Structure 1
């Protein structure tokens, strides 16, 4: 049975405020460490504010707060994960691909089932799309896993291979060569 996804945006403000206080950081200090504005930090810490941060924002916050990004999605159980040096986006791309193919789900079916643009999964797996919290929660629900499962570190070989494919595709595109990679419209 998959772990239930926490309502991350609802719990995030509590975790951010508590961890920032635990480390003795002001909103200004955290903003400087993350390249976010103080107002952006304040908004994320506000209980009833509408917020749907992107993965890169959470990755930056986790790094500044000396957490793994998975910890931001498992606030309810206060579990602390070993901090991974792998980029969260690459971990998600690898894990979404692995879980999706194990379950025999097409990229289009995953995207549409998660109520996202038809090519979203393709763009995510090829590192061309950065998901928001809501998108991650929808994808995890469609795959019947938790967001934390999608953020698990991957074997180094897979990680490096995914980065290499992205570099190769970008390099080929820069030189005018066509690639097999999906280009967003």
Structure 2
């Protein structure tokens, strides 16, 4: 797995583990949602400064983006689409 693939896999893993949508992550990091999508699909190339911003929002170290997946890893499941229902 190359560096771009590691960043993509870990970004999605960290984001979904925390239940954060691409929209929320993008807004909190001050970037466009499409850019987050590009990073997760290995189409974008994040700078160290961008990894710093994303790590800060996700409350992890930058090193987390370069962690190798466990042996026999599989594709990550997508979060449930749609908005969460409003609590009353």
Same fold, judged at TM 0.5 (above) = yes
Larger helix proportion of the pair: 1
State the structure with bigger RCO (CA 8 A, min sep 6), 1 or 2. 2
Q: Deviation string for 1:96-130 (max 9, x for gaps)?
A: 11111111000111112111122121111011111
Structure 2's unaligned 5+ residue stretches are 77-88
Residue 132 in structure 1 maps to residue 47 in structure 2: yes
1:163-182 correspondence to structure 2 within 5 Å: none
Structure 1's unaligned 5+ residue stretches are 1-85, 163-185
Residue 100 in structure 1 maps to residue 15 in structure 2: yes
Residue 110 in structure 1 maps to residue 25 in structure 2: yes
> How many pairs were matched up?
76
Q: Deviation string for 1:36-57 (max 9, x for gaps)?
A: xxxxxxxxxxxxxxxxxxxxxx
The residue matched to 1:105 in structure 2 has which SS? coil
Give the C-alpha shift of residue 156 in structure 1.
5.0
With the length of structure 2 as denominator, give the TM-score of the two structures. 0.76
1:6-25 correspondence to structure 2 within 5 Å: none
With the length of structure 1 as denominator, give the TM-score of the two structures. 0.38
Provide the rounded CA distance (Å) in 2 between the counterparts of 1:89 and 1:109.
22
Query: Alignment RMSD, CA only?
Result: 1.8
Give the C-alpha shift of residue 158 in structure 1.
3.9
